[in-house]
Structure 1
């Protein structure tokens, strides 16, 4: 088990959904990773302030953002923390395939993200 604790900020316009989905992921991977969901940001304009305040090492963008919006969010966050690990859920995944697909997608991609040394 990794002794590292990961501080996660999510960018999701529906905070309850973010909390619920990330809660499932955190529970499912707790034998390998310790992830603390420190904040959710609902608006792109609030990303900079939240990242400065929370100092996460991981940031996820949700599937309601277009690829362009997700890139903007990631660029803002990495402007504050250059080594920040980021992950963008593909646009429409939640709407088209439901919350289970989102949880599985994140879990499939989490090891390569968290174990990378970027």
Structure 2
């Protein structure tokens, strides 16, 4: 393990209709990657209508859309968020991932893709 300090901090906003699940899953990811990245879960928008307000308030570096959104909805969410923070890094979980494969698969999927997202 290198002695370099973790990258970040990165402020993260999630868009998930189940906020407690979003906080729980992101909490697991944050704990698992804390040696490499410092991630602060700064907020969650529970619906598309609240994305703009949450992004304006949190001013995140990263936005995750959860697997309950269709690709079209995810694109809409990202579009709204990028109007507020144009250089926002975004990540959309594949639709149905949580339902089909469960929370462990979601955590794994996020961790697999974080380096490309945060180190780009």
TM-score of the pair, normalised by structure 1 = 0.96
1:66-97 deviations in whole A, cap 9, x for unaligned?
00000000000011111000000000000000
> What's the CA shift for 1:4?
2.0
Structure 2 CA distance for partners of 1:45 and 1:108, relative to 1, 3 Å: same
TM-score scaled by structure 2? 0.94
1:14-93 to 2 correspondence within 5 Å? 14-93=18-97
1:94 aligns to what? 98
Equivalent pairs counted in the alignment come to 116
CA RMSD of aligned residues (A): 0.7
**Gaps (5+ residues) in structure 1?**
none
Q: How far did residue 3 of structure 1 move? A: 4.3
Where in structure 2 are there 5+ consecutive unaligned residues?
none
Look up the SS of the partner of 2:95 in the other structure.
coil
List 4+ stretches of structure 1 deviating above 4 A: none
